[in-house]
A and B are shown apart, each in its own frame.
Chain A
């Protein structure tokens, strides 16, 4: 009897065990594969969102136009200061008053440009945040997607940074129209020696009495030949942050001093496993980062 109990049904048991094992391994493999697929899907959705938001930074070439205004204002202040100095050195009292008046106008014009620059930073920030909130609202409305007992949501935005792309200068070229200013800019390293474009991470101060004015150019891909750079996704290493404007569903008050030309978004996507009892257990949180740069300067601002 004992012998019968030991041998009968052993093979059935072993074969059933083998089948169960194969099926279990296959199920684990398929679930792992699904998590990887969800990661790819999340990255694609994030790239798409980042590109959409980057397109909102420079529509109508507003960043390029601000850079152009900065340069014009800078030249105007420099030339009017030259006129004031020339009048006083030649003792032309009648013209001195007029040139001083023009200088005051040029300086107050620069104040307006600076205000507008700050205004553009605020507008870009507001528009990007509105788009992020709109995305988050849609994401919550869409709800979760369930397949093969794995439940996923659309990626949740956890962080939004505004900034610029490293090694990209402004779109404004230093012209030789005012040789003294051109030489001054080169000596002070305001201009890239090869491209002759104004650098974006410096305060391009004017000499002497006008050194108190703040001239800051924004990074923006220049208009080259007949080509304007389109918005595109780029490597996250190339990004330099000016400030974090959105963290975990909350708008921050972190200030940005420069107009951004790029955006970096970080998202988290929860992958949950729904069991038989309809209780959920978190399987993984997939994090993804995407960086996008806005469209470059259009021909008008060159």
Chain B
């Protein structure tokens, strides 16, 4: 009787130990997975913001540099309306810098002695900065719901514009 009861106790201990190990391991695994999901989400958000910034820089550099910011803003708005979920709050960080290195010089018209724009190639670059807010699953509880993580991206692209003549 004594031997039998000891064996039963031993078996119960083993089963219980395995159960505890699985439970503890599952909890650890769960947190590891959650952290990896969060990390993936952050990387996805940052790369998406990079892509939005690059495309916004391309769009704003194609055309008259005066309207560069409007074009970038329009593009960022379009991207915000397309994306949804955790990564959707792209924001254009003003100002959109248009650095012009050369542009057509005004010429004096000999007939009426007035300055006229002969038109020509405008060169330089446009620099756009965008920001994204990311709300990770687990970090949201740590940081608080009203404090999402913010990431910025800054990209430049050469101006592609030929000024029309007057």
Contacts and interface: CB of A to CB of B under 8 A. Distances in A.
A105 B17 CA distance: 106
Contacts of B164: 226-228
Interface string A23-62: 1001001100100010011001001100110010011110
Given A19-B29, A19-B32, A40-B51, A230 B160 contact: yes
| Interface residue range, chain B | 35 or more
Nearest to A33: B43
Interface string B20-34: 011011101100110
Contacts of A10: 18, 21
Contacts of B102: 59
A23 B33 CA distance: 8
Contact of B21 (A12, A298, A300): A12
A22 interface: yes
A232 interface: yes
A60 B120 contact: yes
A7 B121 contact: no
B14 interface: yes
Interface in A56-70: 58-61
B32 A22 contact: yes
Nearest to A294: B121
B28 to A, nearest CB: 6
Interface string B36-50: 100110010001001
Contacts of B17: 8, 11
**Chain A interface secondary structure, helix, strand, loop or mixed?**
helix
B121 A55 contact: yes
B120 A298 contact: yes
Interface string A7-20: 11111101110110
A14 B25 CA distance: 9
Contacts, number: 100
Instruction: Pick the most buried of B54, B120, B123, B158: most chain A CB atoms within 10 A of its CB.
Output: B158
Contacts of A16: 25
A54 to B, nearest CB: 9
Contacts of A15: 21-22, 24-26, 28-29
Contacts of B160: 51, 230-232
Given A33-B47, A61-B120, A26 B36 contact: yes
Interface in A200-242: 226-232
Contacts of A22: 29, 32-33, 36
A11 B25 contact: yes
A19 B162 contact: no
Given A26-B39, A227-B164, A295 B121 contact: yes
A230 B51 contact: no
A296 interface: yes
Contact of A228 (B25, B28, B40, B119): B119
B157 interface: yes
Which of B26, B54, B102 counts the most chain A CB atoms within 10 A? B54
6 contacts: A8-B17, A22-B29, A23-B32, A51-B158, A60-B120, A230-B62
Given A58-B121, A60-B121, 9 more contacts: A11-B25, A15-B21, A40-B51, A44-B155, A48-B158, A230-B121, A231-B160, A295-B121, A298-B162
Interface of A: 7-12, 14-16, 18-19, 22-23, 26, 29-30, 33, 37, 40-41, 44, 47-48, 51-52, 55, 58-61, 226-232, 295-296, 298-300
